[in-house]
Amino acid sequence: MHDKAHDTANEAVFISMVGERVRDARARKGISRRALSELSGVSQRYLAQLEGGDGNVSIALLRRIAKSLDIDIEWLVSAEDPWASDLVTVIRLYRTATPRLREKVLELLNPDLHGPRRDGRIALIGLRGAGKSTLGRLAAQQMRVDFVELNQEIEEQSGMAVDELIALYGQEGYRRLEQQVIGRLAGTHEKLVLAVAGGIVSEPETFSFLLRNFHTIWLKALPEEHMARVRGQGDERPMAGNPEAMDELRSILTSREALYSKAEASVNTSGLTVEASLAAVLDVIDEKKFLAG
């Protein structure tokens, strides 16, 4: 009950803050509430409620209001006051910067990102069927370092299968344990090859920790090969009763591509034998000096 009351209070503070931001932005632009209503298509009544801290904030309507005020929606919802802070300006400049300049900014803001903090820890990321477990185990053997499959480690720590864990504690409980296990591995291993689940990139905090503490390699392949490899392992679940499975797989790959590309390196295993794929992974590790730490 306490948590619900706390959440409700926080929501009220947030809605009040957004209302003040809209009112301030309108005043700075010299626009009346009626004029803003006409520009945005949002009723004056709703605007009055919003500015008074009584509105039920709708993202779609808020976006229209921000556009009519000629500001980004972040100006209305940012935790910092955009008129008194450089944060929003920095975000805008970063958004238009070249990839090289972005990388320099990240290095200045987070020196550990490319520093010795990662030591010789390597994480393989990518969709299921990319070869993370097979190649990770073989690469670790070649380099004589430990290999850990994250889900197996989670199962050992929790004493139950991942499916049971999710059924009992939900995705939130699983993700929390996932983050704890990665943190423990980073704290206890200077050299390690870790294979993680494909969906880890969808958890911003956990993925950010992984990028900071592990050298990452994205193992990529064509969607058809991902599916064929999973089925080759005897798992028919991806296709069972789901004729759109391949389309869904392509959609997942497309939606995660930008996240996977945050890895320091990538290896395309499409059309390659296990031996050729392993050689490519070892070449990247050697070229990037991932074990130099």
- The span from the CA of 94 to the CA of 108, in Å, is 13
Structure tokens given for 77:
């919802």
Q: What is the mean pLDDT of residues 139-163?
A: 94
**DSSP-assigned letter for residue 55:** -
**How many residues does this entry show for the chain?**
293
pTM above 0.75, yes or no: no
- Sole residue written with tokens 């070892």: 282
Mean pLDDT of the chain: 83
Per-residue pLDDT tens digits for 267-283 = 999 989 999 999 999 99
- The span from the CA of 212 to the CA of 199, in Å, is 18
What percent of the chain is predicted at pLDDT more than 90? 31
Per-residue pLDDT tens digits for 236-251 = 554 444 557 778 888 8
Domain boundaries of the chain, sorted by first residue: 2-85, 115-288
pLDDT at site 1: 44
Per-residue pLDDT tens digits for 22-60 = 888 887 777 888 888 998 888 998 888 888 887 676 766
- The span from the CA of 105 to the CA of 11, in Å, is 33
Structure tokens given for 7:
């959440």
User: Is the pLDDT higher at 117 or at 49?
Assistant: 49
Distance of CA 247 to the CA centre of its chain: 22
Structurally, what CATH architecture does the domain formed by 115-288 represent? Answer: 3-Layer(aba) Sandwich (3.40)
Residue 126: pLDDT over 90: yes
Residue 117's contacts (CB-CB under 8 Å, 6 or more residues apart) are 212, 213
The domain 2-85 having CATH identifier 3.40.50.2300: the answer here is: no
What percent of the chain is predicted at pLDDT more than 70? 87
* Amino acid at position 197, single letter: A
Residue 12: pLDDT over 50: yes
Q: What is the mean pLDDT of residues 101-118?
A: 68
